[in-house]
Structure 1
């Protein structure tokens, strides 16, 4: 007679899991996540306090000269106004330059598309290499026209 023992039946279940229902496990997980979120909130609060403590001397030093001398504040404001106006003027200059570069790119892409070449490649070459790319484009176009005229003559 051979005795067969079920090994799994003789093991003890882990504590807390033998009688745990789904609701008990859900409650435990919720409690753990609430503890985690409260620790994260405390951690974020400590980070904010550290940032405020570190930046407080810098904020106090930056505000004190202007508050003590109103003429310095007026001078600082006029300097900022002139700098802003200079930046606006530079942006207007770059606006027209950007438009011209974009048109170079469009012209190169249109030519490439009409001649069966990669339009995106030629667009970016025209955009970034503008004048040099247009010169290369004109040389390639003249070579294409020369080859085409030779084909017509040979036919």
Structure 2
């Protein structure tokens, strides 16, 4: 009975040692870990750089919107007023003025000029 107990204890100790040895063999060494850390550090630096570039671009866009937003809104109101005085849809031209700014004004000017020329030709 003592021999069986002693053999059982040695068996358990041997299995634990084998498990520890196999675990140590699969763990990476220090140089591999240092390489992985340096790769991760370079990735973090590149992500931080990209984030800073994006934040800079977004802040420039916000400044431009703050600076030009009122002018665009006033231009859209002007397009709506002009469209209404020439018998067109004020809401439609207001929305077009918000979206396409100067192009809407040019289109409205061309349409008004064409109508004026047609009216003059019809009068003669």
For normalisation by structure 2, the TM-score amounts to: 0.48
Structure with the larger RCO, 1 or 2 (CA within 8 Å, 6+ apart): 2
TM-score by length of 1: 0.39
Q: Which has the higher helix share?
A: 2
